[in-house]
Copies of this chain bind each other. A is one copy, B any other.
Amino acid sequence: MRKADGKQIPQRVVSRLAMYYRVLSQLEKGGVERISSRELGEMMGITPSQLRQDLSYFGEFGQQGYGYKVSYLHLEISRILGLEKQHSMILIGVGNLGRAIASYTNFRNRGFELVGAFDVREELIGKKVDDIDIQPTTELRAFLRQNKVDIGILTVPASQAQQVADILIEEGIKGIWNFAPLKLNVPESVIVEHVHISDSLYSLSFRLHEHFN
């Protein structure tokens, strides 16, 4: 998905698209039929012109004097994000965080299906996570050769993350969703989305002191 002129969409716009999608899901669930760019912008803490500019990368979605039709904009953003497609995912590292991610049922509802789970700990092998058998990580390479996998979810300790990522990359994975607190070395062709849980705690800390000091 690129602009008509071939320019890549900036990452900050992509991040906001996910937020637009989330807020529009809530509005649709709440029965809201239409909304102005001012109201929608306010809900998300951005200006109406920022909102219009972001959406203009992808087309025309609103009407002067009417605003946006919530269900239409929601569907269009879902298409832009690729959420109408099916994605197969595997989980590597079935600790607490891995289990928590796997059981987020919303992902399955949005076309993200868990097809495999791997761990190095022998006591977990043969057990299940979210109805998927846990296999030994030594089977990871063979599994990737026999199955189409789009996304690898990395919930292993930082010390193992690069080693596991290398196997994923060598076997042609397209995307890595990385929860390990470590910057991965990957070729440009592989998309990595890194979840930095601590960033939000530090933001919270900042805002606590901004308010209370």
Contacts and interface: CB of A to CB of B under 8 A. Distances in A.
A45 B204 contact: no
Interface size class of A (residues with CB under 8 A): 35 or more
A171 to B, nearest CB: 16
Interface stretch (A15-23, A131-139, A160-168): A15-23
A133 to B, nearest CB: 18
A121 interface: no
Contacts of A202: 17-18, 21, 81, 83
B101 A197 contact: yes
A32 interface: no
Nearest to A95: B100
A200 B15 CA distance: 7
Interface string A187-213: 001010111111111111111111111
Contact of A209 (B1, B15, B211): B1
A112 interface: yes
Given A18-B199, A211-B191, A205 B81 contact: yes
Contacts of A1: 206, 209-210, 213
Contacts of A81: 202, 205-206, 209
Interface string A6-29: 001101001101110110001000
Interface of A: 1-2, 8-9, 11, 14-15, 17-19, 21-22, 26, 45, 80-83, 85, 87, 95-97, 99-101, 103-104, 106-107, 112, 150-151, 174-175, 177, 181, 183, 189, 191, 193-213
